[in-house]
Amino acid sequence: MVSKELETAINKQINAEFWSAYLYLSMSAHFANKGLPGFANWFNVQFREEQDHALKLMNYLISKGNRVELTPIEKVDTEWKSILHAFEDTLEHEKVVTSLINNLVSISRKENDYATENMLQWFVSEQVEEEETAQGMVDSLKLIGDNGFGLYTMDKELAQRSYTPLATAQA
């Protein structure tokens, strides 16, 4: 079993991952409404990946004989002033998630809980990728500016992103 402190902290992280999923689903709906199916698809894949993150943590707690406690998911924004604003929000949000993961690693280290620390290393690497991807999108959008053809082309490209289920998120 993991300690009570870690159990509580991982349950909070499960909520944070579901909140992330909800945020990206809201962004996906927003862009679908705006007639940007590629951006909507990109955020829909992001939504599904975040659910996998939550499920991976849930499966870990269950495998250790701990309790999973699902708590209410806070409201998310439903409108963004521009595509760039949505990706800037994404980047800022992923930085917050990174700090939450780092905090979980600190607790597991303090407790000499090597199994949990090892499980969390996947999230540490994932967060490097998440921030890098969001930063790349912000950079591209800044370059494109309000060039309609650039945004049209980017929307077409993002329509190609596909979802790959995470094996450790499967029951």
Binding site residues, ligand FEO, CB under 6 A: 17, 20, 50, 53, 94, 97, 130
In whole angstroms, the minimum distance from the beta carbon of 24 to ligand FEO comes to 8
Q: How far is the CB of 145 from ligand FEO (least distance, A)?
A: 26
Nearest to 87 by CA among 19, 140, 149: 140
Sign (positive/negative) of CA torsion 93, 26, 30, 161?
positive
Q: Is 45:163 a contact under the CB 8 Å cutoff?
A: yes
What's the min distance (Å) between Cβ of 62 and ligand FEO? 19
Residue nearest to ligand FEO (CB): 53
Report the C-alpha gap between 82 and 30 in whole angstroms: 11
Residue 160's φ and ψ, nearest 5 degrees, are: -85, -15
User: Based on CB atoms, which residue is closest to ligand FEO, 97 or 119?
Assistant: 97
Nearer to ligand FEO, 20 or 116 (CB): 20
CB of 50 to ligand FEO, least distance (A): 5
